[in-house]
Amino acid sequence: MLDDPLFYVVGGACLVVLLILLTGIGGFGKGGDFNRKHANRLMRWRIYAQFVAVALLVGFVYLRTKG
């Protein structure tokens, strides 16, 4: 599994989702101008990144069980 490059792509996509989520939560917790300007945009980016990560994960599992 570790020799498959798609494994690292899936892991990277999951890390991107985590970073976006933590940035959004941090902005929400801090409040203020940053939260007002960027909260909705960050959560939309998280949804898009999460969709990509799940699609890659499903593709990875499909290819690993097929081959």
What the block records as the tokens of 55 is 């699609």
pLDDT at 24: 93
Supply the angle between the helices 32-66 and 5-30 in degrees, to the nearest 10: 160
pLDDT in tens, the chain (67 residues): 778 899 999 999 999 999 999 999 999 999 889 889 999 999 999 999 999 999 999 999 999 998 6
Q: Kindly list the domain boundaries of the chain, sorted by start residue.
A: 39-66
The upper half-sphere exposure of residue 37, i.e. CA atoms within 13 Å in the direction of its Cβ, equals 3
Q: Report the predicted TM-score, pTM, of the whole model to 2 decimal places.
A: 0.85
- Where does residue 10 rank: exposed (0-12), middle (13-18), buried (19+ CB within 10 A)? buried
